[in-house]
Amino acid sequence: MPGPAPTPVSGDAALPARADVVVIGGGIAGTSTALELAERGHAVALCEKGVIGGEQSSRNWGWVRISHRDPREIPLMVEALRLWSGMDARIGRATGYRRSGILFAAESAEALARLEAWGEHLSPFRIEARAVRGAGMGALLPGHRLQVAGGFWTPGDGRAEPQLAAPAIAEAAREKGARVLTGCAVRAVERAAGRVAGVVTERGPIACDAVVLAGGAWSRLFAGNAGVELPQLKVLSSVLRTDAVEGGPEAAIWAPDFAIRKRADGGHTIAPPGSGVADIVPDSFRLARAFLPALRAEWRSLSFRVGRAFVDEARRPRRWAADGPSPFESCRVLDPAPRAAALDSAFAAARAAFPALAGARVAQRWSGMIDVTPDAIPVISDVAELPGLYIATGFSGHGFGIGPGAGRLMADLVTGAPPCVDPADFRLSRFFDGSPITVMAGL
């Protein structure tokens, strides 16, 4: 069964000879960056090898959350929440955004205490968050049968529709003057006098002053061909959606055995939390040392497997010339097979917790590839070795909600505007300058 179908976006027929900025990747980070830049009057070419929002930006859970994030992401997520709240009015299109609240359920009093302790990170921002127990849980989740000690509730969090959001933002960027080029892989970056001078696409060259690489799971491969080391691996995540059903939970919930959020179509998106699959590939060995802290923190939530992915990636070229086909032209959309057993287990747990879901039917299953960094927070950064190149990737499963904020910060960096938040924690150089690599477990 193929993955979810994002709203179709027709690409522009004409390739511009020149742009101020070329954005590579039509996911939530790339489209948000393109919109920000176009609104500021910059000529933008948004290049997507496949379809807008075709990979993880349409395959995620649809959560827009500040809750239980790495504290380093919180200031940027505050900005993202502000942007989401006005997004539909800003772009004149529906993203499905709704402030519905998110609850992280805790199996034990100790786990709930840890969530409450994390909540102190929100205090400087005056974000409402609180622990709920007993009757409080019942008021938030009428009729639930969760066997938990309580939950941590952030009413300002919400949800949006992944199949709608990136396409809607891309169309708005085009209305502001951006060129949107679909089925148009960027093969390589061109240089002059030691800095970015343009790109070569499969349809021809585009001269430019800056390039933003927002290629999701493909970013490491592209960066490597440009001579830039980017430590990033991929983790497979499986999701299902149900058909419409009455009486399901309105709030999004992370429970021990399932995660759920209501959809605009009346169904629910359900996934097994903490059950990502990391394929053992050649990069697993190249990056083993960099990812050791993450492995120590998250080994309980990952499964490892050796299979076809190792052979496929071993055969994939890591260097190629701009005048011939690139690896991005042989795979337009990553559409991996979902893990049926994990999804069946999560669906059963959700129905047991919410009797209203007893009659719900599975409408679709899919998987996507999450781009992860060694510390599980993104790279939103310039590249010192190649002036004019910027990278926005490695969102580690948290990218959909933070995407509009990431786009604003990236536009600030590209244009030299005062950054909306301090970008230091997102700099690429943190992986190479001796900074300690720390991971917040359980994200």
> Domain residue spans in the chain?
21-101+156-431
Q: Give the β-pairing of 44-48 and 179-182.
A: parallel
Residue 441: pLDDT above 80? no
Find the mean pLDDT for residues 146-174. 98
Closest alpha carbon to 284 in 247, 263, 314, 318: 314
Residue 442: pLDDT above 80? no
H-state helical runs in 92-201: 109-119, 135-140, 162-175
Give 295: exposed, middle or buried? Use CB within 10 Å, 0-12, 13-18, 19+: middle
Closest alpha carbon to 371 in 191, 235, 264: 235
Whether residue 234 contacts residue 371, with contact meaning beta carbons closer than 8 Å, is answered with: yes
Taking the CA of residue 162 as centre, how many other CA atoms within 13 Å lie in the half-sphere pointing to its CB? Answer: 28
CA distance 96 to 103: 19
The tokens describing 164, both together, are 């709608």
Determine the pLDDT at residue 338: 96
CB atoms under 10 Å from CB of 324, counted, come to 10
Determine the pLDDT at residue 443: 53
Mean pLDDT computed over every residue of the chain: 96
Determine the pLDDT at residue 274: 77
Whether residue 188 contacts residue 199, with contact meaning beta carbons closer than 8 Å, is answered with: yes
The verdict on domain 21-101+156-431 having CATH code 3.50.50.60 is yes
Q: Quickly state the pLDDT bin for 388 (edges 50, 70, 90).
A: very high
Q: Which H or E run includes 364?
A: strand 362-372
pTM above the 0.85 mark? yes
CA distance 225 to 331: 17
pLDDT > 70: what percent of the chain?
98
Residues in the chain: 443
CA distance 242 to 360: 6
Residue 353: pLDDT above 70? yes
